[in-house]
Amino acid sequence: MKSSLLTAQNVIIQGITGAHGAFHAQAMKNSGTGIVAGTSPNKAGQFIDTIPVYNSIKDIQKDFTVDISVIFVPPAFAKSAIIEAISAKIPLIVCITEGIPIHDMLQIKQHLEKGSSTLIGPNCPGVLIPGNNKLGIIPAHLSLPGSVGLVSRSGTLTYEAMDGLTRRNIGQRYIVGIGGDRIPGTSFIDTLALFESDPTVEQIVMIGEIGGTSEIEAADYIHQHVTKPVYAYVTGHHAPEGVQLGHAGAILGSADESAVAKTQYLAQCNVHTANSITQLVKMIPA
């Protein structure tokens, strides 16, 4: 993932006339993001705030070049919205929508492989570059420009960590919520690669969760490719164990997916680990 992808200017909102879309389109615009238009089927000609509404991305592209789309479409229509954006060759798609069926994500992944777009999310708070772009729902007033690269699977913990850093007067360069779904568009590794290669990032903060193996893969990547200091917290140390149905999951993923196991593995890979979010925020040098 390249920095220019996240800092590009012409942003559209898919699903701009819905309650969440309208509310957050204004919030994004107010924090200086270049929102040029929005889509909503059969609502062309309306305005949200001063943002013009179009029926489709194709229609917008007659009037504007589109660099980024932020999606607030309800889950039942999110698959078509994402595929519409991929077909329109929009370089960056940020999907906030929570609750997209996993079989829809399998199809979306196939479209992503064939297309040229990068997808962040779904089920994520999006991206915030303090003082630059707000692509999603991360509360910008709690951020502070600086040099931390923050990546998180959890939306609310993204805010928590950002707020904690700002209170300690530690600024952030990128805040990226990759989302908590089982099949995300962008992984920890894609984001860590950006943080490592971008000279404006000096420290990296990573927040994981129980379940899946993406933190383990990230740990291996950090061990081999990341030279900057990484601070991590995997939430769910005291979470109850889920009842696994059948044997297939255990056979496929023989790795331990608990927060404790992941934390230990990250520590072995030279990552500074914390056991709580407050501890994480405290351990980052100012």
If one asks whether residue 277 binds another protein (CB under 8 A), the answer comes out as: yes
Enumerate the H helices of the chain as residue ranges: 3-7, 19-30, 57-63, 75-87, 102-114, 155-167, 188-197, 214-225, 248-252, 259-268, 277-283
Give me the DSSP letters along 79-128: HHHHHHHHHTT-SEEEE------HHHHHHHHHHHHHSS-EEE-SSS-EEE
Q: In the complex, what is the shortest distance from the CB of residue 246 to another protein, in angstroms, rounded to a whole number?
A: 4
Shortest Cβ 37–another protein spacing (Å) = 22
Q: Closest CB to another protein among 24 and 173?
A: 24
DSSP code of residue 247: S
By CB under 8 A, tell whether 236 contacts another protein: yes
178-207 residues near another protein, rule: CB under 8 A: 180, 182-183, 207
Longest CA pairwise span in the chain (Å): 57
Q: Which of 223, 237, 247, 272 is catalytic?
A: 247
**Displacement of CA 35 from its chain's centroid (Å):** 19
> Residue 119: which of 146, 79, 147 has the closest Cα?
79
Q: How far lies 40's CA from each of 52, 95, 178, in Å? A: 10, 15, 25
Q: Which residues of 17-36 are buried (b: 16+ CB within 10 A; e: fewer)?
A: bbebbbebbbbbbebebebb
Token digits of residue 26: 């204004």
> Considering the rule CB under 8 A, would residue 99 count as an interface residue with another protein?
yes
**Least separation, in Å, of the C-beta of 219 and another protein?**
15
Closer by beta carbon to another protein, 75 or else 171: 75
Site for another protein in 15-44 (CB under 8 A): 20
213 binds another protein, rule: CB under 8 A: yes
Should residue 169 be labelled a site residue for another protein when binding is judged by CB under 8 A?
Answer: no
Q: Which stretch binds another protein (CB under 8 A): 3-11, 58-66, 86-94, 276-284?
A: 276-284
Q: Which residues of 246-264 are buried (b: 16+ CB within 10 A; e: fewer)?
A: eeeeeeeeeeebbbeebbe
247 is catalytic: yes
155 binds another protein (CB under 8 A): yes
Q: Which residue lies nearer to another protein by CB, 66 or 94?
A: 94
Q: Which stretch binds another protein (CB under 8 A): 1-9, 37-45, 195-203, 237-245?
A: 237-245
User: Can you tell me which of 15, 18, 130, 212 binds another protein, judged by CB under 8 A?
Assistant: 212
Nearer to another protein, 35 or 112 (CB): 112
Residues of the shown chain interacting with another protein in the complex, contacts defined by CB under 8 A: 20, 75-76, 96, 98-103, 105-106, 109, 125, 137-139, 142, 152-157, 159-160, 163-164, 167, 180, 182-183, 207, 209-210, 212-214, 217, 233, 235-240, 242-243, 245-252, 254, 259, 275-279
Active-site annotation, residues: 247
